[in-house]
Structure 1
Amino acid sequence: MKTGKQLQSIDYDYRVSDDGLLFCKWMDNKAVTIASNYHGTAPTSIKRTQNDGTREQLACTEAVRDYNMHIGGVDMADMLCCSCGLSRKSKKWWHRLFFGLIDRTLINAYIVYRQTT
């Protein structure tokens, strides 16, 4: 697989393992690396709005397209965790992991509650 310096802007490279895992590196502003056991290698495209308002079609893989379509959900979960999370300081790494899991569980419960009521 090409390194980040070998990829040009809006270029991608991928490899598929013997087990069917897809490893894709896509160069946007920075290199984005994605591993997937669900997506194939079929080329597709995404639409990107430039600073001047024009829209441009960019070539990518299915995994990158899905990543770009659903990245807003990750941003929303991070925002909710920061605003009402259980941010506890600890010297033990597993305490932070445990409280992070509790945070995500509470955020998911809140989202399900909002969708059902």
Structure 2
Amino acid sequence: MVRYFEKFHLKQFIPKKPIRFGYKVCSSNTPREYLLDFEVYQGKSENEYTHIEKLVGKSAAPLLKMVENFPEEIKSLPFHFYVINLFTTFKLLSHMQQLGYGATGTLRENRIPNSCPLASNKVLKKFPRGHTKSIINKPHGVLLCKWVDNSVVVACSNTHGISPITEVSRYSFTSKTQVQVPRPAMLSVYNQGMGGTDWLDQNVNLYRIQIRNRKWYWPLVIWMLNVALQSSWILHRHAGNDISHLDFRRGIALTYLKKFKTSQP
């Protein structure tokens, strides 16, 4: 979410987000926080991607739009996508498999097809933490998994499976100590691949450029500038330069001040 409080028809209100008012942006990131592509939500509109929406649904269409925007020379690489439950559907994972891509994501329970008769989340909550149920949806070639943690986690994948089972540390209110809970491989890999978007938001909001303007487009311009600085910092560090985010931004500011300084105070 890009923060914006003034009146404009594209502004969204999502109560459970840390930033509740603003522009909703769908983004594709690497696990190391580098932004690959993004799309600002603009509401219902007739565009050239209508065929994608009919194929995988409106919620999953932004992901396929970003994949289509990849340069031709890298489209054949074996990418694996980790997506949140807003985008995940069985149709999406099946289509990604046809394109030669792997995909794993959390899934909303009301999107589980009738061909996957697993116990409901309400029933599974009665099982001990670490309990796992899974089933393969053969028509789509997708594995569906339900894992009991503090709540029931629903995930599906067209590549990863349940094995090998790993363990994750959780606090037990019964014994008042940390205990080891078994976790399916699908969710272990998902946690490793996810998080790039969250890290991007956190880094951008740490040292956000704040130049106030009432124009509706100004927050998006500033957001893109902040993302460009953050992505430049990521590339700078990957080139072997160990520098903090704050020092990197300070260095850019000092460079512009020295280059465009005037004799007037």
- Shorter-normalised TM-score: what interval? 0.5 to 0.7
1:29 corresponds in structure 2 to: 150
1:95 corresponds in structure 2 to: none
1:90-112, Cα deviation, whole Å (9 max, x unpaired): 7xxxxxxx98xx68x74555423
Question: Which aligned runs of 4 or more in structure 1 are off by greater than 6 angstroms?
Answer: none
1:112 corresponds in structure 2 to: 235
- Measure, in 2, the Cα distance between the counterparts of 1:81 and 1:35: 30
- Measure, in 2, the Cα distance between the counterparts of 1:14 and 1:81: 38
1:44 corresponds in structure 2 to: 165
1:27-73, Cα deviation, whole Å (9 max, x unpaired): 2122222221220232502231426453x332232111223445555
- TM-score, length basis structure 2: 0.32
User: Gaps spanning 5+ residues in structure 2: where?
Assistant: 1-117, 210-214, 242-265
Aligned pairs for 1:1-117 within 5 A: 1-7=118-124, 8=127, 9-18=129-138, 19-50=140-171, 52-54=176-178, 56-71=179-194, 73-83=196-206, 84=208, 106=228, 107-116=230-239, 117=241
Q: Percent identity, aligned pairs only?
A: 24
CA RMSD of aligned residues (A): 3.7
Aligned-partner residue type, residue 64 of structure 1: L
Count of residue pairs the alignment pairs up? 107
Change (3 A) 1:108 1:30: farther
Q: Which has the larger radius of gyration?
A: 2
Is this contact kept in 2: 1:43–1:59, CA < 8 A?
Answer: no
Change (3 A) 1:71 1:28: farther
Is this contact kept in 2: 1:46–1:59, CA < 8 A?
Answer: yes
Aligned-partner residue type, residue 143 of structure 2: L
Higher helix fraction (1 or 2): 1
Aligned-partner residue type, residue 4 of structure 1: N
